[in-house]
C-alpha cells in the first residue's frame, strides 16, 4: 500500500468515526463551472453578479443555444449560475419559451424578473411583476388631474 493510499484510507476511517457515515455514503461536492469572462466594459449588473459564488451549472434546454455577446444574455447567464430557484414559475417559463431548464432569479436584479425572461428581452416577458406603488400613485395623480 502506498503512502498516499494509506493516508487516504486513514482519513476516510477518521471521517467515518467522527461523522458517523461511511466514506461511500458521503455525497460528493459537485464541481461548478467558472463564471464566464466579462467584457472589457461590463454592465453594473454583470460586475455585481460576477462577485457572487456560483451555486449551479446553467443547463440549456435541448435544442436551445445562447450567445453572450448581448449584455442582457450574459447577465441572464450569470444569474443562472448564482441564483435561487423560483416557485412559482412565470407564464413565459411554463409555456416552454425558455433558454435554460431551471427558472431562477437573483434578489435585487432585473426588476425581480427571472433569468429566462431577462435573456434576449431584458425581462419584458416576465409575467409575475407587480406594478410599483410609486408608479401607481403617479398614474392616479394624472387621472384625477392634480
Cα gap 5→100, rounded to integer Å: 41
Locate the domains of the chain by residue range: 56-146
Q: Is pTM beyond 0.75 here?
A: no
Cβ atoms of residues 108 and 128 within 8 Å: no
Residue 44 CB contacts under 8 Å (≥ 6 apart), including other chains: none
Query: Model confidence over 7-35: pLDDT tens digits?
Result: 555 555 655 555 555 555 555 666 787 88
Q: Per-residue confidence at 1, pLDDT binned at 50, 70, 90?
A: very low
Residue 25 CB contacts under 8 Å (≥ 6 apart), including other chains: none
Query: Model confidence over 80-112: pLDDT tens digits?
Result: 999 888 777 777 667 777 888 888 888 888 877
Cα gap 2→56, rounded to integer Å: 36
Amino acid at each position: 500500500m502506498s503512502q498516499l493510499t494509506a493516508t487516504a484510507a486513514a482519513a476516510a476511517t477518521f471521517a467515518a468515526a467522527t461523522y458517523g457515515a461511511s466514506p461511500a455514503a458521503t455525497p460528493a461536492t459537485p464541481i461548478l463551472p467558472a463564471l464566464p469572462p466579462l467584457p472589457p466594459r461590463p454592465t453594473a449588473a454583470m460586475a455585481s453578479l460576477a462577485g457572487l459564488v456560483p451555486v449551479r451549472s446553467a443547463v440549456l434546454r435541448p435544442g436551445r443555444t445562447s450567445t453572450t455577446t448581448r449584455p442582457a444574455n450574459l447577465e441572464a447567464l450569470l444569474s443562472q449560475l448564482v441564483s435561487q430557484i423560483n416557485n412559482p414559475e412565470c407564464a413565459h417559463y411554463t409555456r416552454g419559451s425558455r433558454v435554460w431548464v431551471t427558472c431562477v432569479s437573483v434578489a435585487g436584479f432585473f426588476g425581480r424578473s427571472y433569468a429566462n425572461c431577462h435573456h434576449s428581452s431584458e425581462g419584458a416577458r416576465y409575467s409575475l411583476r407587480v406594478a410599483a406603488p410609486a408608479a401607481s400613485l403617479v398614474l392616479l395623480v394624472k387621472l384625477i388631474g392634480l
